[in-house]
């Protein structure tokens, strides 16, 4: 169930003059945080905590819920030493929304002691009194421990990744998967002095990108594509959207620069948990040899879904004389010149494959669309991120601004901006529909990312080729059976094809893979990964997920980079014998329609 539309939140609609004493407002609320009362908050106040006070990711709605959760967590965390930082700013959003933002730092004095930061968003009421509309709090560091955000590179010539940490069999953490998520966690753990190893099935770092189909590009804007500690892809040297080879080379270089302990050509076979010893036994196949390693914590960083393809089945498949394959096995259309191509699906990969087919000189290219698809022009998406992710704002700061906000507010803001921009060029989408493309005019990018984990198209040019008829659309009826030269649809129409590529996704429930590798006992303890809970928080990812020594890590590179710091901090606190205290109270019960 998609919860965000029902969550009780909205942007404040108020008038804020240009000339007000912002430092005085900031100073007042910094003092208020030491002992807040209900009168200090708007009735619809929101608090999003990222591990600072709740030991997990939580969002509380309404002043009553915020005050209750703050009071309860303060009993164990004892927050103190509140002080503001940076210049307060007036934020003016679409549809007349406005508020004042400022940052603050504070300490917690429970177990473990931590440094934290946050942002307050305050608004003036009709009587002139200012109140807190939104509060965001973020765990920064464990007191007395190294910084999770700073790490000095080793010498890549003198020290290889394996010799840096030594070849051993016992670790405080093993990370399964060496893509962007696994690499980011590994770097953060190294910064904190936690012993770890990353298990990567591919032969080299970056091969998870390098081995994809030839035209693959990142959906993330270049300023969002960095790994921790640095700007991995300086804008002057790279295009706005990175190719797969750029990502592969960049991530390999990053791993070498920071001496990341990664075992490539290593397949994870199975694992078991010894509750008495609080130890994982992990069976691996490394360079063709079976062995077992041991650890206290596992980070499962293989992605948010499985690599098991999903394809529709049509009757009489043996009749078809052409080529069929799933996009997971697709590399290039270069050998199909002159043939008739069909791609089933209408999201990012389907558009890429159709574009490849056209560029390869295939005789015809047809996209079979099974349901309406949300299309976001890449330049529109870029404009929604430019103010945060750019050459001027440090990535660490940009991440805190962007990822600390509640998803429900992100939904409202992104819809307002993207729909407004789409309305400014209706002919672009009218032309798509005229060509037979089913365009979702009420699209919601937050839904696509957090609930569907895709299913949309970031338009980098293929939509124009659909609108012009270079790529033909079939959306009025679905295929039901194969014939020798293609597919027959439910309305009796015939799609002629020599090659059919199914860009229809993969099985999304990662717990099925966990059950296969760790057993149903472990999988049964875990939450599902991805999708949103009743507070609008991602299920399972980055936080305690049901097993005391197991974490999921996944997502686009921005999520991988930012939330890796919290996984590493949780594991470091646990290894010190002072795990973060998780607050599970004040769960949302009301259901409010917006």
Percent of the chain's residues with pLDDT above 90: 85
CA–CA gap between residue 264 and residue 287 (Å, rounded)? 8
Q: How confident is the model at residue 73 (pLDDT cuts 50, 70, 90)?
A: very high
522 membership: H or E segment, kind and range: helix 520-523
What are the φ/ψ torsions at residue 67 (nearest 5 degrees)?
-65, -40
Q: Is 240 a member of any domain?
A: yes
Residues 54-69, mean pLDDT to the nearest whole number? 97
Q: Determine the pLDDT at residue 162.
A: 47
pLDDT in tens, 380-437: 988 888 889 999 999 999 999 999 999 999 999 999 999 999 999 999 999 999 999 9
Q: Is 33 a member of any domain?
A: yes
3-state secondary structure of 203: coil
Q: How confident is the model at residue 156 (pLDDT cuts 50, 70, 90)?
A: low
317 membership: H or E segment, kind and range: none
496 membership: H or E segment, kind and range: strand 494-496
Mean pLDDT check: name the lowest of 16-30, 168-182, 475-489.
Answer: 16-30
How does the average pLDDT of the chain come out, rounded? 93
CA–CA gap between residue 211 and residue 76 (Å, rounded)? 48
3-state secondary structure of 109: coil
CA–CA gap between residue 313 and residue 210 (Å, rounded)? 30
pLDDT in tens, 210-242: 999 999 988 788 999 999 999 999 878 899 889
Q: Determine the pLDDT at residue 591.
A: 40
Q: Is 393 a member of any domain?
A: yes
Estimate to the nearest angstrom the gap between the alpha carbon of 580 and the chain centroid.
Answer: 23
70 and 41 in a common domain: yes
Q: How confident is the model at residue 159 (pLDDT cuts 50, 70, 90)?
A: very low
Q: Determine the pLDDT at residue 307.
A: 77
| HEC secondary structure over 391-414 | CCCCHHHHHHHHHCCCHHHHHHHH
What are the φ/ψ torsions at residue 138 (nearest 5 degrees)?
-140, 125
Q: Determine the pLDDT at residue 590.
A: 45
Count of CB atoms within 10 A of residue 481's CB? Answer: 14
Choosing from 484, 502, 520, the residue where a domain stops is 502
Query: Residue 185: which of 565, 570, 572 has the closest Cα?
Result: 565
Q: Are 136 and 117 in contact (CB under 8 A)?
A: no
328 and 184 in a common domain: no
Count of CB atoms within 10 A of residue 215's CB? Answer: 17
Residues near 200 by beta carbon (within 8 Å), at least 6 away in sequence: 177, 178, 182, 207, 208, 262, 263, 264, 265, 266
CA–CA gap between residue 373 and residue 352 (Å, rounded)? 15
Residues 4-17, mean pLDDT to the nearest whole number? 90
- Looking at residue 542, which CATH number applies to its domain? 3.50.50.60
135 and 60 in a common domain: yes
Buried b (16+ CB within 10 A) or exposed e, 324-343: eebbbebeebeebeebbbbb
75 and 37 in a common domain: yes
289 and 239 in a common domain: yes
The tokens describing 306, both together, are: 């499985």
Q: Determine the pLDDT at residue 155.
A: 63
Q: Determine the pLDDT at residue 106.
A: 98
CA–CA gap between residue 122 and residue 41 (Å, rounded)? 9
325 and 287 in a common domain: no
Give the angle subtended at the CA of 329 by the CAs of 501 and 357, to the nearest 5°.
40
Q: Determine the pLDDT at residue 34.
A: 93
332 and 481 in a common domain: yes
Domain count, the chain: 3
Entry pTM: 0.94
Highest mean pLDDT (candidates 49-53, 407-411, 439-443, 525-529): 49-53
Residues 554-580, mean pLDDT to the nearest whole number? 97
Percent of the chain's residues with pLDDT above 70: 96
C-alpha separations of 431 from 415, 435, 439, 463, 562 in Å: 22, 6, 10, 9, 39
The DSSP secondary-structure symbol of 34 reads T
pLDDT in tens, 191-201: 999 999 999 99
Q: Determine the pLDDT at residue 167.
A: 61
Question: Could you tell me whether strands 170-176 and 196-199 are parallel, antiparallel, or unpaired per DSSP bridges?
Answer: parallel
105 and 19 in a common domain: yes
368 membership: H or E segment, kind and range: strand 364-368
Question: Alpha helix locations (H) across 35-93?
Answer: 63-77
Q: Are 135 and 30 in contact (CB under 8 A)?
A: no
- The residue ranking higher by pLDDT, 262 or 153, is 262
What are the φ/ψ torsions at residue 102 (nearest 5 degrees)?
-150, 155
- With a cut of 70, say whether residue 292 has pLDDT above it: yes
- The residue ranking higher by pLDDT, 308 or 583, is 583
The tokens describing 213, both together, are: 């189909």
Residues near 19 by beta carbon (within 8 Å), at least 6 away in sequence: none
Query: Residue 156: which of 255, 263, 265 has the closest Cα?
Result: 255
Choosing from 454, 472, 502, the residue where a domain stops is 502
Cα-Cα-Cα-Cα dihedral sign, residues 14, 20, 22, 25: negative
Per the structure, the complete domain to which residue 357 belongs is given by 317-502
Residues near 186 by beta carbon (within 8 Å), at least 6 away in sequence: 175, 196, 198, 260, 261, 262
Q: Are 588 and 311 in contact (CB under 8 A)?
A: no
Q: Is 438 a member of any domain?
A: yes
Q: Determine the pLDDT at residue 51.
A: 99
327 and 297 in a common domain: no
Choosing from 502, 524, 546, the residue where a domain stops is 502
CA–CA gap between residue 16 and residue 440 (Å, rounded)? 36
539 and 414 in a common domain: no
Q: Is 228 a member of any domain?
A: yes
390 and 421 in a common domain: yes
Q: Is 153 a member of any domain?
A: no
What are the φ/ψ torsions at residue 516 (nearest 5 degrees)?
-65, -35
Q: Is 55 a member of any domain?
A: yes
Q: Determine the pLDDT at residue 163.
A: 38
- The residue ranking higher by pLDDT, 285 or 287, is 285
Buried b (16+ CB within 10 A) or exposed e, 98-137: bbbbbbbbbbbebebbbbbbbbbbbbbeeeeebbbbbbbb
Q: Are 151 and 135 in contact (CB under 8 A)?
A: no
pLDDT in tens, 304-319: 777 788 899 999 999 9
The tokens describing 426, both together, are: 């209706």
342 and 225 in a common domain: no
Q: Are 449 and 460 in contact (CB under 8 A)?
A: no
Q: Is 152 a member of any domain?
A: no
């Amino acid at each position: 169930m998609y919860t965000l539309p029902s969550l009780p939140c909205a942007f404040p609609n108020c008038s804020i003059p240009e000339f007000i004493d912002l430092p005085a407002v900031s100073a007042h609320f910094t003092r208020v945080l030491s002992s807040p009362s209900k009168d200090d908050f708007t009735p619809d106040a929101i608090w999003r905590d990222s591990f600072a006070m709740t030991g997990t990711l939580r969002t509380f709605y309404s002043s009553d819920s915020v005050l209750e959760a703050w009071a309860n967590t303060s009993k164990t965390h004892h927050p103190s030493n509140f002080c503001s930082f940076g210049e307060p700013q007036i934020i003016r959003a679409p549809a007349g929304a406005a508020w004042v933002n400022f940052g603050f730092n504070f300490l917690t004095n429970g177990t473990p002691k931590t440094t934290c930061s946050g942002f307050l968003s305050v608004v003036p009421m009709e009587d002139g009194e200012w109140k807190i509309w939104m509060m965001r709090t973020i765990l920064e560091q464990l007191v007395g421990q190294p910084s999770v955000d700073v790490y000095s590179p080793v010498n890549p010539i003198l020290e290889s990744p394996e010799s840096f940490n030594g070849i051993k069999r016992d670790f405080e953490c093993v990370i399964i998967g060496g893509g962007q998520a696994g690499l980011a966690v590994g770097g953060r753990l190294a910064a904190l002095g936690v012993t770890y190893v990353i298990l990567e099935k591919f032969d080299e770092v970056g091969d998870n990108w390098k081995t994809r189909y030839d035209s693959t590009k990142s959906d993330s804007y270049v300023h969002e594509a960095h790994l921790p500690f640095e700007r991995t892809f300086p804008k002057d040297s790279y295009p706005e959207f990175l190719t797969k080879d750029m990502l592969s080379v960049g991530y390999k270089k990053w791993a070498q620069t920071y001496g990341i302990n990664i075992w490539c050509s290593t397949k994870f076979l199975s694992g078991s948990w010894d509750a008495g010893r609080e130890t994982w036994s992990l069976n691996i196949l490394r360079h063709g040899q079976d062995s077992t390693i041991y650890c206290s914590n596992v980070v499962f960083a293989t992605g948010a879904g499985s690599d098991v393809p999903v394809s529709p089945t049509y009757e009489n498949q043996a009749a078809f004389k052409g080529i069929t394959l799933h996009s997971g096995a697709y590399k290039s259309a270069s050998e199909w010149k002159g043939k008739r191509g069909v791609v089933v699906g209408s999201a990012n990969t389907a558009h890429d494959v159709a574009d490849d087919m056209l560029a390869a000189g295939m005789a015809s290219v047809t996209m079979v669309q099974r349901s309406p698809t949300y299309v976001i022009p890449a330049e529109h998406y870029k404009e929604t991120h430019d103010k945060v992710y750019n050459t001027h704002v440090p990535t660490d700061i940009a991440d805190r601004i962007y990822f600390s906000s509640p998803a429900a507010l992100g939904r409202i803001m992104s819809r307002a901006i993207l729909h407004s921009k789409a309305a400014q060029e209706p002919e672009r989408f009218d032309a798509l529909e005229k060509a037979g493309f089913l365009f979702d005019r009420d699209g919601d990018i937050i839904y696509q990312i957090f609930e569907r984990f895709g299913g949309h198209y970031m338009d980098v040019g293929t939509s124009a080729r659909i609108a012009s008829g270079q790529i033909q659309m079939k959306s009025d009826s679905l295929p039901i059976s194969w014939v020798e030269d293609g597919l027959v649809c439910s309305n009796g129409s015939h799609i002629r094809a020599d090659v059919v590529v199914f860009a229809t996704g993969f099985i999304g429930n990662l717990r099925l893979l966990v059950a296969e590798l760790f057993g149903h006992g472990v999988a049964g303890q875990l939450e599902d990964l991805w999708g949103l809970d009743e507070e609008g928080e991602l299920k399972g990812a980055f936080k305690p997920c049901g097993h005391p020594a197991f974490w999921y890590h996944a997502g686009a590179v921005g999520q991988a980079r930012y939330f890796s710091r919290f996984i590493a901090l949780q594991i470091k606190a646990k290894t010190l014998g002072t795990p973060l205290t998780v607050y599970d109270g004040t769960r949302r019960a009301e259901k409010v329609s917006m």
